[in-house]
A = this chain, B = another copy of it.
Amino acid sequence: MEKIAIAIHGGAGTLDPSALTPEKEAAYRGALSAAVRRGHAVLAAGGAAIDAVEAAVRVLEDSPLFNAGKGAVFTAEGTHEMDAAIMQGSDLRAGAVASVQNVKNPVALARLVMEKSGHVLLSGRGAFEFAHKQKVELEDDEYFFDQLRYDQWQEVRGSTETRLDHSTGEKKFGTVGAVALDAQGHLAAATSTGGMTNKRWQRIGDSPVVGAGTYANDATCAISCTGNGEAFLRAVAAHDVHALMAYKGLSLEEAVRIVVHEKLPPLDGEGGMIALDKHGNIVLDFNCTGMYRARIDRRGEVVAIFR
């Protein structure tokens, strides 16, 4: 039980400390703490890493503070299209959904894709049909409504501009994710997002793509990313961290540093990632001003937003 560890994120970006009121900061910190504790409780009870990351991400999806599940941003059509993925490092099984609507917890649906569909990635209306068949919790559009997200959309509605999940003066990549190591030594990762405000054409980012935004392999590490999804897709960012460890023998910290600070920036890859290796080492790194994040390991709990 010494090695059990979990880390989560709630997005990263060019965050302005002065724009964050003490009340708002307390709300974010409270939500992050609740999520990481929920996941840690699963591990502490001897539960599996895959259950811990799903539990933690569900808490973040249920909070309107983060761009995933309730609180997902608006598409150009005024809908909420969400992406999620989950992967377990013991056997490289994975499940993911892209551009899915009205599903309360996309990460739970991704888990069912992994376990019940025979496939890895389902999308759009088809993913919704699978959700319906699996009797996952569905919600009306009103459930996903959030005034802040609506106001963000109104600023760009009718234009061709897509926007990151942002507040005035801020540029935030709103995505949530978790990585965990259980007492059996297994790693898992999960990521969930609403994507970009005013996005069109059922654009899919890195979050639901195994190897890009989400990856877990017991031989090396578990990774969940947040940032400019297109760059993370082109960089195959999460798998690249694994490969640097597996083939070059780098430490988790060094592998993450190379991908986040050397590989991604030339591709306009602003953002960050949470990473956890098989020894329980946690690395939370980003190349922007802040990342909503929390961790619990044998040294205790840490919640942070800025550097």
Contact = CB atoms under 8 A, between A and B. Distances in A.
Interface residues of A, number: 45
A122 B243 CA distance: 27
Interface in A82-118: 87, 92-94, 98-99, 117-118
Interface string A191-208: 000000000111111000
A124 B240 contact: no
22 contacts: A92-B234, A92-B267, A98-B98, A98-B123, A98-B204, A120-B233, A120-B234, A121-B203, A121-B204, A121-B205, A122-B201, A123-B204, A125-B125, A127-B202, A130-B201, A209-B212, A210-B212, A211-B212, A215-B236, A239-B243, A243-B244, A244-B247
Contact of A248 (B129, B209, B236, B247): B247
A63 interface: no
A162 interface: yes
Nearest to A93: B234
Contacts of A51: none
A172 B267 CA distance: 37
At the interface, is chain A mostly helix, strand, loop or mixed? mixed
A246 to B, nearest CB: 8
Interface string A233-269: 1111001100110111000000000000000000100
A230 interface: yes
A119 interface: yes
A24 to B, nearest CB: 31
A129 B76 CA distance: 13
A89 to B, nearest CB: 11
A17 interface: no
A170 to B, nearest CB: 21
Contacts of A235: 92
A30 interface: no
Nearest to A162: B118
Nearest to A122: B201
Contacts of A127: 201-202
A288 B202 CA distance: 35
A126 B243 contact: no
